Structure 1
Amino acid sequence: MIISELFLLISFVLIALLITGSIVYSTVKLGISPMPSSNKAHLAMIQLINETGSGTIVDLGSGWGNFVIRIAKKYPQRQIVGYELSFLPWLTSSCLKKILRLQNLTLHRTNFYHADLSMACVLTCYLFPKAMEKINHKLQVEKSDVHFLISNNFALPSWQPYKTIQLSDFYKSPIYLYKIGQTKTEIK
């Protein structure tokens, strides 16, 4: 009995260390930890998605799947694609996708900077300023069907938002909607 309890304890500790190690490794490698958006942010982003038509939605940095799974369930007629490099969040969202049988959701464990986003009508993201700079560059260089970008908290450099929703949270977080190719401004 004591040996089985000890084995369970050691197993639990090893699993906890592997999980922690995986998240720390991904955080160091990517420069940011997988951070889920708040429910208020999700609702505001969904409100903006309602204004984007019927094309494919691509979530850049889909994390634990909180948002992509929610929009895949809400918009079963739309193709939803998520990109996530961190192993554990990607694995979690992939398992949830299978459990919920979301046929319209595709999850990639790939760097979205190197992905072909030409099929995307809408990009959604909750990234950080340096990542937004890279997305800005990608949008300027590549030809794609991206019509909208919805960003939680971080602005897209050199673009003017078409619409901004200010959340009623402690930080008054902004959610931006950009019309790509229509409202671009040059910042000097």
Structure 2
Amino acid sequence: MKFTSTLLPLLALASGLTATPVPAEESSILEARAVAGPTTFKITNFYNYGRPHSAVAHMGFSWESASGAKANCSASKTGQIATTPMYTRCTKPGVGFGFDRILTGYLFTVTFRYNRDKNIDTAAFYIPDQHVKRTNNTANPNANYYYIDYPANFTLAANPFVVNATHGPVLT
């Protein structure tokens, strides 16, 4: 009896609900935009390493988009390998990166915001721990440090994202 007394009011409420019509395209608050085709980020001079007799690790790289935008990006952190949270700013406004420890490796992410932040291109890739190496200075063991053994120059496929919603009321 309790189940029926609870269920009947809910069913009555549900039967009274109606679907809200979707506005016609010409009066929609959504703005249609074409998403650009696949794009790439060119990464050059990539490095991430410690230094002898130092507790600080450094990382950096040069970035270039397929459209020709360029930036230099860098970060330092106390530790064996430099990590930095997403969103660490680069020298060009709208370009940022992250280098985070994830399970048994590192996630490297680069983001490029442009067109008044309506377009956002992002690329990411995973560098497994097998690329983390340690120098072996037998003459001075205190001078050993860790580094990421990865090519200095590579290209990343970026995923484009377009913010479609027009914020606020549309005045006609």
**Superposition TM-score, scaled by structure 1 size:** 0.23
Larger RCO: 1 or 2 (CA < 8 Å, sep 6+): 2
**Superposition TM-score, scaled by structure 2 size:** 0.24
Rg bigger for which structure? 2
